[in-house]
Amino acid sequence: MYTYTSRGVSVPDRFQHVWSRSLLQPFAEVLTPFSYSVLAEITPRAWFRYYSRAGHTLAAPPRGIIRQHKGRPYLDIRWIAEQDAIFAGLTPPVLHVDGRDIPVCASPGNGLLSGLRFRRHRRRLRAAVERLMEDLPEMRATARSWFLKIREMRWTQAEILQVMEEIERFGVDTLMVYYGTRWALERAYDVLLELLRDVDDLTATVRAVMATLSDLEGLEELNLTHAMLELAALARENPATMEWLKGRSFHDWPQTAPPGPFARRLQELMDRYGHWALGFSELRNPRWFEQPEFLFHGILACAQRAVEPPARLPSKAAREHLLGQVDDRIRPQVEALLADLRRYTVVQSQALDAYAYILAGTRLWALAASREGYGDGRLENPEDIFFFELEEVKRMMTGEWNISAREEIRAVAAQRDQAYRQWLSERPGEVLLDEVELYPLHHGLPGVVGRASGPLRRQQNLQPALCEDAVVGATQLDSGWAPALPVAGGLVEAAGTPLDPIVAAARIWHVPAVVGLGTDYDALVEGAQTTLDAGKAQVEQ
């Protein structure tokens, strides 16, 4: 998890920050200024509230805990590890860089009194995560209610001003749950890999650990695919429905869908998952309630192939096999960590679903702002609103940045559009020690064990119907890729880790996946026959 190379660049002995993309994996692709600024506004408050709930008093939300580098967001895990060390005495993660072991931060003291306090605080920190998981259904209901309220707005000037003050307030809780469970998940995974380092090589160890997660329940990505299969079965019973699903445009789907059980079930699906999107962290991307083609074509592909639910592979044997390889002294600890991986993997999926409501409502607010800015000529293109930060959009809506600054506003949009295009062609390090980029030493990790072969279909303009038996390629996979799981032959990803929710769902579907390819992904040729051996984390053309 933390083995890197600096590619010959001198690594500083002292550093102030350890910037990482791992905790931000669902958001770690290139983001427009608006999308990044929304994440950056909510993130400090989310971490402040997370530690407050555990009883760790901070003077104020942390400044500078998140940054953008070459378009990607990075989180300062040094700051987070320091809070864990100060409050609960948790040993910080260690980066393995070019053969050197570099602790993320200083280790906590080991005095008797501090040890007693740390044990008590570790229990409080774990209890805080448990409470977050218990409170998540209520938080998700609140986020959904806010989103539904936003959808009904007519966007008067008063409503625009009202909503712009609600985004951070309503977003903080759901993002707090995601961060809390994802950090707990990564810590458990890191400790587990460290305990198992002598069992086998990294690839084999990751493969063995992931095999214990083959039968998870409650993943939202999995729930979505099950709903798709139900709709596919209904569609096969009605030729008119099948013809309708072959349509190229679904902007008026509530009026044009053939009436009957399929239409009613489709409405239920959209009510539940319409706030999702392919690449949901980028707010410029339409949500499914706006453009549902990706989802609907996935239903069509399932109907045409008569896809059945995946056979569940019990994880008990894999878990017992792994536990049988470890020393008896650490067996209880390994067993507890495996249980944590299962629980936290599911909850992070549910937390992302809740946060997606906030992102969908924020996008609607941004579109309302863009109509106002485009209507009076400040914006040359409505889509340009996403090249402005949240606070800058607020300045436009309050009239502080008005029509008199039209040329300045347009120049800023053009400049940032150009920078965004440049970022898309770059592959920065996964970790930054201050400004030194670190790259994973591995070239791919086994996300889902198995073999696949087929043409490579990259994410640009991809539809699930085109993924049948193909190897689906993406620089970043998120929950919005779930409609491709029932028909894809395999998955390859430039970024990502085996812990990501979409990879967990792919494991249930037995879709072989190799993640974390890094720059090797760029060398793959679109459309070329691609062979994937996920057990060995190998991709060949």
Domains detected in the chain: 14-215+322-361 (no CATH), 441-540 (3.50.30.10)
The pair of structure tokens assigned to 484 is 């491709």
Q: Which of 76, 111, 199, 181 is nearest to 139 (CA)?
A: 181
- With the CA atoms of 293, 283, 361 and 364 taken in that order, what torsion angle do they form, in degrees rounded to the nearest 10? -80
The Cα 86–Cα 121 span in angstroms is 10
Instruction: Indicate the DSSP class of residue 488.
Output: B
Quote helix, strand, coil % in the chain, to nearest 5: 55, 10, 35
pLDDT of residue 519: 83
The pair of structure tokens assigned to 194 is 């460290």
pTM, rounded to two decimals: 0.95
Asked whether the beta carbons of 282 and 29 are under 8 A apart, the reply is yes
CA 243 → CA 225, 258, 262, distances in Å?
Answer: 21, 10, 13
Amino acid present at 322: L
Instruction: Indicate the DSSP class of residue 520.
Output: G
The pair of structure tokens assigned to 52 is 């407050």
pLDDT of residue 108: 84
Pairing of strands 3-5, 436-440: antiparallel
| Cα atoms in the 13 Å half-sphere on the side-chain side of 275 | 25
> For residue 255, how far is the Cα from the chain centroid?
33
Asked whether the beta carbons of 503 and 447 are under 8 A apart, the reply is yes
The Cα 36–Cα 30 span in angstroms is 9
Helix axes 33-54, 167-195, angle to 10 degrees: 70
What is the CB neighbour count within 10 angstroms for residue 431? 23
Asked whether the beta carbons of 65 and 43 are under 8 A apart, the reply is yes
Place of tokens 């962290």: 281
Instruction: Indicate the DSSP class of residue 385.
Output: G
> For residue 435, how far is the Cα from the chain centroid?
24
The Cα 112–Cα 150 span in angstroms is 54
541 residues of the chain, pLDDT tens digit each? 568 999 999 999 899 999 999 999 888 889 999 999 999 999 999 999 999 999 998 999 999 999 999 999 999 999 999 999 999 999 999 999 999 999 999 988 776 667 899 999 999 999 999 999 999 999 999 999 999 999 999 999 899 999 999 999 999 999 999 999 999 999 999 899 888 876 557 788 888 899 999 999 999 999 999 999 999 999 999 999 999 999 878 989 999 999 999 999 999 999 999 999 999 999 999 999 999 999 999 999 999 999 999 998 899 999 999 999 899 999 999 999 999 999 999 999 999 999 999 999 999 999 999 999 999 999 999 999 999 999 999 999 999 999 999 999 999 999 999 999 999 988 899 999 999 999 988 788 889 999 999 999 987 667 777 788 899 999 889 999 999 999 999 999 998 899 999 999 999 999 999 998 888 898 999 999 999 999 888 999 9
Asked whether the beta carbons of 44 and 50 are under 8 A apart, the reply is no
Place of tokens 């993997």: 345
Pairing of strands 471-474, 451-458: parallel
pLDDT of residue 199: 58
pLDDT of residue 461: 65
